[in-house]
C-alpha cells in the first residue's frame, strides 16, 4: 500500500515549523513529506531592515533548509502556482520555468504573502518593496547609490531629489526600515565630504492615525518621539497619490522631489489562495480553528494564507498574520496532519500572546514582552534576544551575533555590490505576482491530465 503523500507549500515560519514537527513525530515509513519552495532557505523576515541597512549580511538571515532538516523531506525548487482540491493536485513552476504536477493526499498551504498595492499611478513601476532578500539587498545598494550620485552632482535639484527618501507604511516593517536606513545615511555623511546631514531627509507616512497601534498609545508615542528626534518626518493620515522616477505626490497635496520610494503598506495573501476558488476572509482562506479548509478534503491553511479563528478574542476575530502565530500554527497543524493520518480527532489552535518587539537601530527600541513596556537598551536587549533565539540553526545564530558585534565595534560600511544595478527591481519582478494561474486554468489543467491518463 502506497504511503500517504504530505505536501507542504512554503518555507516560511509556518511551513518550516510544520515540516520539522512532521519529521520528528512521523516514523520514516508512515508518510512521504514534500516541501515546495523556490529557495533552499527560510528567510527570517523580521531582520530584513537590518540587511537593508548593512548591519547584517544577507546570508545571516537565510537559514539553510538543508542544514536544519533531517534529510527525510523532498524539496522541490519552485513555487506552487495553482491547487485543484478536487483532483488533489498542486501545479508547480520550477525555478527552470518547467511546470510539474504534484499529487498529494494532504496539503498544507503556507505560501506566505505578497506586498499589498493599490491603484496608485506610478506605484508599481517606481516603488520598492521589503518582502524578499533580493529587495533588501537592492534597497541597500539603491540608497547608497543615491549618496554617491548626490555627492558627485553639481545640480542642486538633482542632489535634493537623491537625498530625499520616502517610506510608506507605519507598521513594523516600515518603521524599522525607515529607522535603520536613516541611521545608515546619517552615519554615512562623515564619508561624503560634499554632503551635509541637513540635506538628507527621511519621510515615514501612513494612512492610519497612529504609528504601530499594536504597541498601545504610550509605547507608540515613544517610538514616534524617537523617530522625530532623529530627524525622520512622520506624517499620519497621509498616503501616496502618485509616484514617478523623480518625485512623489502625497494625498495632502505635497510634492517631494524624491528618487527613493519604499513601499511597506501591508501585505495580502499569496495569489495562490485565489486558485482554490474557496471562501476567504480578507484574502485569506476561511479555515476552521483546527486550520482545515471546509469542503476540501485534506487541505490545511495557516499563517498568511489562513484566516484562523482567534479563540482567545472570540467572535469573528482571526489571528493576525505574524511570525509568532505562524510558528505556533505550523507546529499545531503538523499535529493535526498526523492526527488525520492516524484517525484521531483534530485539535483547535489557541495561543497566548508573547508580546511585541521593535528594533529601531543602535540603542533605540521599544518592546512589550508579556505586556511589560520597555524602551531603550532593555527593550533592545529583549528585541535582539528574541530574534536571536528564534533563528533555527546554530550557524545562523553565530552569523547574526558576529554581525551585531562587528557593526557595534567597527560601525557601518557603504559598499554597493552592484549585482542588481541593471534590474528594474519592481514589486512584480521581485515577488513574481504574475506567475500564478487562475482557478479556471488550474481546473482545466488537471482535467487535461485526467483525460490523458497521467
Residues whose CB falls within 8 Å of the CB of residue 145, separated by 6 or more in sequence, listed in order? 416, 421
283 and 312 fall within a common domain? yes
**pLDDT of amino acid 68:** 58
Tens of pLDDT, residue by residue over 348-380, are: 999 877 888 999 988 999 999 888 999 999 999
Is the confidence at residue 122, as pLDDT, over 90? Answer: yes
Q: Is residue 22 part of a domain?
A: yes
Where a domain ends, among 232, 265, 298?
265
68 in the same domain as 48 = yes
pLDDT of residue 309: 96
- If asked whether residues 260 and 305 sit together in one domain, one would say no
Decide if 93 is inside a domain: yes
Residue 213 pLDDT > 70, yes or no? yes
Q: Is the pTM higher than 0.95?
A: no
Task: Note whether residue 38 is domain-resident.
Answer: yes
Residues 51 and 92 both lie in one domain: yes
Instruction: Report if residue 363 sits inside a domain.
Output: no
In a domain, 424, yes or no: no
166-180 CB burial, b ≥16 within 10 A, e <16: bbbbbbbbbbbbbbb
Question: Do 189 and 257 fall within a single domain?
Answer: yes
Q: Is residue 368 part of a domain?
A: no
Measured distance CA(328)–CA(8) in Å, rounded: 16
Would you state the pLDDT for residue 70? Answer: 58
Residue 401 belongs to a domain: no
Sorting pLDDT into bands at 50, 70 and 90, what band is 31?
Answer: very high
**What's the domain count of the chain?**
2
pLDDT of res. 454: 59
Domain at 82, CATH number = 3.50.50.60
Return the pLDDT at 449: 75
Residues 100 and 246 occupy one common structural domain: no
Encode pLDDT of 427-446 as tens digits.
767 777 777 888 888 888 88
Spatial strand order of the sheet with 164-168 comes to: 127-128, 260-263, 164-168, 201-206, 232-236
Range 329-338 average pLDDT = 98
pLDDT over 90 at 140, yes or no: yes
The answer to whether 240 and 123 are in contact (CB under 8 A) is yes
Domain boundary, last residue among 216, 238, 265? 265
* pLDDT confidence of residue 66: 85
CATH, residue 134: 3.50.50.100
Grid coordinates 497543524 are at which residue? 333
- Mean pLDDT within 220-245: 95
Max distance between CA atoms of the chain, in angstroms, equals 75
Say yes or no: 320 and 222 in one domain: no
Q: 130 and 104, same structural domain?
A: no
- Helix then strand then coil, % of the chain, to nearest 5: 40, 25, 35
User: Does residue 272 carry a pLDDT above 90?
Assistant: yes
Of 265, 293, 320, the one marking the end of a domain is: 265
75 and 192 belong to one structural domain? no
Question: At residue 219, does pLDDT exceed 70?
Answer: yes
Domain membership flag for residue 47: yes
Q: Are residues 297 and 441 in the same domain?
A: yes
| CA distance linking residue 103 with residue 91, whole number of Å | 9
> What pLDDT is recorded for position 453?
66
Please check the confidence at residue 92 and state whether its pLDDT lies above 90.
yes
Question: What pLDDT shows up at residue 375?
Answer: 93
Helices (H), 230-287: none
Kindly state whether residues 197 and 340 are assigned to the same domain: no
30 with 3: CB under 8 angstroms?
Answer: yes
Q: Which domain holds residue 305?
A: 5-115+268-353+431-452
Integer Cα distance of 173 and 178 in angstroms: 9
Q: Is the pLDDT assigned to residue 324 strictly greater than 60?
A: yes
pLDDT at residue 158 greater than cutoff 90: yes
Same-domain pairing of 77 and 163: no
Q: pLDDT tens for residues 93-112?
A: 999 999 999 999 999 999 99
The reported pLDDT for the residue numbered 425 is: 67
Amino acid at each position: 500500500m502506497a504511503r500517504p503523500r504530505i505536501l507542504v507549500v512554503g518555507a516560511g515560519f509556518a511551513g518550516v515549523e510544520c515540516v520539522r514537527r512532521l519529521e520528528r513525530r512521523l516514523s520514516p515509513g508512515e508518510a512521504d513529506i514534500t516541501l515546495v519552495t523556490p529557495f533552499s532557505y527560510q528567510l527570517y523576515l523580521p531582520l530584513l531592515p537590518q540587511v537593508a541597512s548593512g548591519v547584517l549580511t544577507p546570508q545571516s538571515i537565510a537559514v539553510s533548509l538543508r542544514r536544519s532538516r533531517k534529510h527525510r523531506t523532498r524539496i522541490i525548487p519552485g513555487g506552487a502556482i495553482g491547487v485543484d482540491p478536487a483532483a488533489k493536485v498542486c501545479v508547480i513552476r520550477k525555478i527552470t520555468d518547467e511546470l510539474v504536477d504534484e499529487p498529494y493526499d494532504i496539503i498544507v498551504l503556507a505560501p506566505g504573502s505578497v506586498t499589498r498595492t493599490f491603484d496608485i499611478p506610478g506605484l508599481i513601476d517606481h516603488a520598492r518593496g521589503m518582502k524578499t532578500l533580493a529587495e533588501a539587498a537592492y534597497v541597500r545598494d539603491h540608497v547608497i547609490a543615491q549618496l554617491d550620485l548626490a555627492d558627485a552632482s553639481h545640480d542642486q535639484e538633482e542632489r535634493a531629489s537623491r537625498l530625499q527618501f520616502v517610506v510608506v507604511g507605519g507598521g513594523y516593517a516600515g518603521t524599522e526600515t525607515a529607522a535603520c536606513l536613516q541611521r545608515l545615511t546619517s552615519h554615512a555623511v562623515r564619508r561624503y565630504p560634499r554632503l551635509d546631514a541637513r540635506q538628507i531627509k527621511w519621510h515615514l507616512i501612513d494612512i492610519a492615525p497612529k504609528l504601530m497601534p499594536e504597541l498601545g498609545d504610550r509605547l507608540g508615542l515613544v517610538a514616534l518621539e524617537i523617530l522625530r528626534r532623529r530627524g525622520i518626518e512622520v506624517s499620519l493620515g497621509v498616503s501616496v497619490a502618485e509616484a514617478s522616477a523623480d518625485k512623489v505626490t502625497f494625498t495632502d497635496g505635497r510634492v517631494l522631489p524624491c528618487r527613493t520610494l519604499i513601499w511597506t503598506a501591508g501585505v495580502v495573501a499569496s495569489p495562490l489562495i485565489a486558485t482554490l476558488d474557496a471562501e476567504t476572509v480578507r484574502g485569506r482562506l476561511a479555515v476552521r480553528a483546527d486550520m482545515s479548509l471546509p469542503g476540501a478534503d485534506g487541505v490545511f491553511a495557516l499563517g498568511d494564507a489562513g484566516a484562523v479563528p482567534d479563540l482567545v478574542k472570540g467572535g469573528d476575530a482571526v489571528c493576525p498574520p505574524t511570525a509568532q502565530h505562524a510558528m505556533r500554527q505550523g507546529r499545531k497543524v503538523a499535529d493535526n496532519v498526523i492526527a488525520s493520518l492516524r484517525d484521531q480527532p483534530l485539535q483547535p489552535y489557541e495561543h497566548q500572546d508573547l508580546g511585541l518587539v521593535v528594533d529601531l537601530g543602535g540603542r533605540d527600541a521599544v518592546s512589550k514582552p508579556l505586556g511589560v513596556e520597555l524602551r531603550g537598551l532593555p527593550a533592545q536587549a529583549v528585541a535582539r534576544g528574541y530574534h536571536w533565539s528564534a533563528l533555527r540553526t546554530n550557524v545562523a545564530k553565530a552569523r547574526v551575533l558576529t554581525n551585531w558585534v562587528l557593526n557595534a565595534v567597527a560601525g557601518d560600511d557603504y559598499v554597493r555590490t552592484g549585482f542588481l544595478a541593471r534590474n528594474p527591481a519592481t514589486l512584480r519582478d521581485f515577488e513574481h505576482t504574475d506567475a500564478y494561474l487562475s482557478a479556471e486554468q488550474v481546473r482545466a489543467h488537471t482535467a487535461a491530465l485526467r483525460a490523458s491518463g497521467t
